[in-house]
Structure 1
Amino acid sequence: MRNLDFSSWHAMLSTVLGLALITLIMVGVRLLAMHTVQQRRERENRQINERLRTLIAAYKTLGGSFTGNLAVDPTHRRDLRQREDGVSASADARQSSDRSRRVRDAVEAALSDIILLGTEEQVLLAARAATELAEGRPTHTADLVVSLRDFIRKVLDLEPVPTHLAIPRQGPSRTPASRGKGDDAKGGGKSGGGGLGGGMGGMGGSHASLDEEHDTHH
């Protein structure tokens, strides 16, 4: 304030303009810094949300069942074909094998996501499960599901699961069996035949009405 000159109008105007310019520069720098921090925070929030969404989907895939066989069958389609070629498998056996294959494919995709976005403990458990599947051994995912559940609840600021609460071991979700294409084709053929028959019936009725009108005129 000692160097400010208010001896004349010109000097006072120059001083005010200088102060305004300095204030404008400081405000601009502050706004730029706030904008940069806000963009970085939004980017981090998007990353956290995407990671959390992926891990929640993996949790639902790996821990959607509490009953039945909770182990993942590592059998591949080529092995199933060899079995079916060796012995004539029933329709129920083929349907069960196809369901097991779809469960294994979903589990492999979930393990891949966890290895990419999981914590160190989750990556270790997922890598161990993936190794068991690659070696052809039945795989259990209960420990990995527990780690995912605790991490997700912590990120969402939820209370941890009570230690005295006994939760059954969890396994992969069982996907419903899909209808065969042959059944759909048969159904479509039947409905198409019915439509054709209905059309022929309608044409027959039209010819009959025309004959009756011709007899009436004669």
Structure 2
Amino acid sequence: MSNLSDLRKSYEQGELDESRAAGEPLQQFKQWLEHALASEVPEPNAMTLATVGADGRPSTRIVLIKAYDARGLVWFTNYDSRKGQELALHPFAALQFHWVELERVVRIEGRVERVSAEESDEYFDSRPLDSRLGAWASPQSQVIASRAVLVANAAKAAVQHGLKPPRPPHWGGFRLQPDRWEFWQGRKSRLHDRLRYRLDEGRWIRERLAP
């Protein structure tokens, strides 16, 4: 059996220096995301989403970024799911990308809101048919008796909606509006590079953090 305490990795692929980092976090994120895409790392669009429940307990799950711009980062989900209910109660969240092969992490924090119905409709209509039917079939985060429930629900949705299922009213997008970003680049001897951007009265302040 492997001894976890003996596992070691020397991070030596890159550096993150203020002289070459972007002045604003969105541009830095764009550069790093495009690099991850070009490098063909596994699922470069996957990000961990952290929310907080009514009891103060945090929970995390993986979601996929589907759009980003100056307004924020967008993903889509079931509004009745655990994350949807937690965001309705506490509309703040944290996101994290971990591009292992590039030895990079991006962390983002901010307020979350639902995207417009038009944005949700546009994205929903672009999805494969099976995925659109799946949005009707899955009572996300609820207890079900077996997988047969999902299969039966999907078959029922296919009969009911055919080839053009509409977007379910409980399904749509969220947008996180960042007020903090952190970019982490692994470095040798655990002297990692960490640059934080925080929003202060409409202006981004860039700071180096100790690793």
TM-score (norm 1): 0.20
TM-score of the two chains, using structure 2 as the length reference: 0.20
Structure with bigger gyration radius: 1
Structure with higher helix content: 1
